[in-house]
Amino acid sequence: MNELKLIALSNILELGTKVNNKVQKIRGTNENYLIPITENRFNNGEGKVRIPATVREKDIYILCDVGNYGITYNMHGFEHHMSPDEHFQDIKRTLSALSGYAGKITLIMPLLYQARQHKRKGRESLDCALALQELEQLGVQHIITFDAHDPNINNAIPNLPFENFYPTHTILEELIESEITDNLLVISPDMGAMERARYYADMLGCDVGVFYKRRDLSKVVNGKNPIIEHAYMGSSVKDKEVLVVDDMIASGTSMLEVGEKLKKEGAKNVYFIATFSLFTEGIKLFDKAYQNGIFDQLYTTNLSYIPSEYKKRDWFTEVDCSLYLAQIINALHNRESLKPLFNGKEKVLTKLDKKRYS
């Protein structure tokens, strides 16, 4: 079996280091699996990746966070924050630096590049599909992602293994440890997230509801039709512990409007759950909403970048997914079935019962 090695780009080095430590514990060794790489950035914005160590016939796992806007460099005298396009270009540079010598290349991109550009309406770009096809052409043999906006995007690469994991059980285990676990109700903030909400409800054995976003199709604001109304469909939320679940929080305005409506309808507590919290318009809206009692806690993962000062908020809970990633990597390297890692329902229900009856 080819030797296991990890390459963590600078945009995910903190999580990559944790994953390396967890892999060491799983495999009972002190061996360092991380391959050091250099990522140079020139003042005109061009970049270069160099891998000084040998990669010949290694089983390589590349980790990259395309959403890390905390990485900066000096370009033409200005501080420039790296964009997803630049991070994706660095993935391609890393693949080029491997020069075809690796035994197998698996790309772990927790936040799927251009995931919201997954389908075409009229004459517009289809970025996610094109990116996946380009990765296949560059030698990637397996792609791992989390909570893809539309898992059917894997149809763009029918001959390439594409695994879409959900950190549901990892998040729920954290929530069960911290919060009340009776009288639960799971809510989807829109119709598109309904399948995810049903998955959470199934894991918890509770009811599920959904909000319908009525939009003004005659206008476009910031690239989207503005929402006129959130109409709720489902059982009463009065006195319930409500979990509002989605794949990502962008600006967060929609999630906060849902939370406000739920509290007005008598929800006891409102917990937001998102795999990725991007906070594209900053965090002040959440600070104000928390102070006004619109929500009680946000649970999100460390699978994509969040500024350290955000994590200090009383309403913020970060769920560490490094062990989950290490288990996936170890199983893949050992050619083991991934099925046990897709669903942790039994473990969640056991923990839930223990918490309820303790």
Shared domain for 135 and 263, answered yes or no, is no
Mean pLDDT is lowest, of 153-157, 190-194, 304-308, for 190-194
| CA 325 – CA 165 distance, rounded (Å) | 10
Q: How confident is the model at residue 124 (pLDDT cuts 50, 70, 90)?
A: confident
Q: pLDDT band for 178, please (50, 70, 90 cuts).
A: confident
Are residues 86 and 190 part of one domain?
A: no
CA distance 205 to 87: 40
Tell me what pLDDT residue 33 has: 97
Q: Is the pLDDT confidence value at 10 over 90?
A: yes
pLDDT band at 286 (very low <50, low <70, confident <90, very high): very high
Same domain assignment for residues 79 and 157: yes
Which pLDDT band holds residue 349 (cuts at 50, 70, 90)?
Answer: low
- Total structural domains within the chain: 2
* Residue 239 shares a structural domain with residue 315: yes
Partners of 34 in beta bridges: 6
Is 325 part of any domain? Answer: no
Which distant-in-sequence residues (6+ apart) come within 8 Å of 167 by Cβ?
A: 146, 147, 275, 301, 303, 319, 321, 324
| Residue 328, in any domain of the structure | no
- 276: closest CA among 82, 18, 66, 127? 66
Q: 198 and 251 share a domain?
A: yes
Amino acid identity at 275: T
Calculate helix-pair angle for 168-178, 345-357, nearest 10 degrees: 10
120 domain-assigned? yes
> Is residue 326 scored above 90 in pLDDT?
yes
Q: Is residue 61 situated within a structural domain? A: yes
- Average pLDDT for residues 336-353, to the nearest whole number? 75
Nearest Cα to Cα of residue 333 among 31, 27, 111 = 27
pLDDT more than 90, % of the chain? 71
Q: What's residue 194's pLDDT?
A: 87
Query: Is there a domain that residue 344 lies in?
Result: no
Q: Which of 164, 185, 201 is the last residue of a domain?
A: 164
Give domain status of residue 313, yes or no. yes
Last residue of a domain, one of 164, 184, 210: 164
Mean pLDDT of the chain: 91
Residue 357 has pLDDT above 70, yes or no: no
356 has pLDDT over 70: no
* Cα–Cα distance for residue pair 221/166, rounded to 1 Å: 31
Residue 252, phi-psi category: left (phi > 0), alpha (psi -120 to 50), beta (remainder): left
| C-alpha to C-alpha distance for 225 and 213, rounded to whole angstroms | 10
- pLDDT tens-digit series, residues 210-227: 988 777 666 777 666 677
Cβ proximity of 38 and 49 under 8 Å: yes
pLDDT-derived band at 240, boundaries 50, 70, 90: very high
**CA angle, 299 then 301 then 210, to 5°:** 50
**Does 256 lie in the same domain as 201?**
yes
Q: Which CATH number characterizes residue 234's domain?
A: 3.40.50.2020
149 and 255 fall within a common domain:
no
Indicate whether 331 belongs to any domain.
Answer: no
List the single range of 30-39, 114-123, 153-162, 199-208 with lowest mean pLDDT.
114-123
Q: What's the pLDDT at 11? A: 97
Q: What is the pTM of this model?
A: 0.90
Tell whether 143 and 12 lie within a shared domain. yes
Q: Please, which pLDDT band fits residue 1 given cuts at 50, 70 and 90?
A: low
Q: What integer is the mean pLDDT of 177-196? A: 85
> 44 in a domain, yes or no?
yes
Query: 203 CB contacts (<8 Å, ≥6 apart)?
Result: 168, 169, 172, 344, 345, 348, 349
Domain shared by 194 and 294, yes or no: yes
Whether 71 and 127 share a structural domain: yes
Mean pLDDT along residues 163-182: 86
| In 179-283, alpha helices (H) | 194-204, 253-264
Q: CA-CA distance, 219 to 199, in Å (whole number)?
A: 33
Domain end residue (candidates: 130, 164, 198): 164
Residues 133 and 151 placed together within one structural domain of the fold? yes
Domain of residue 133, residue span: 4-164
Query: What average pLDDT does range 88-113 have in this prediction?
Result: 96
* 199 and 92 in a common domain: no
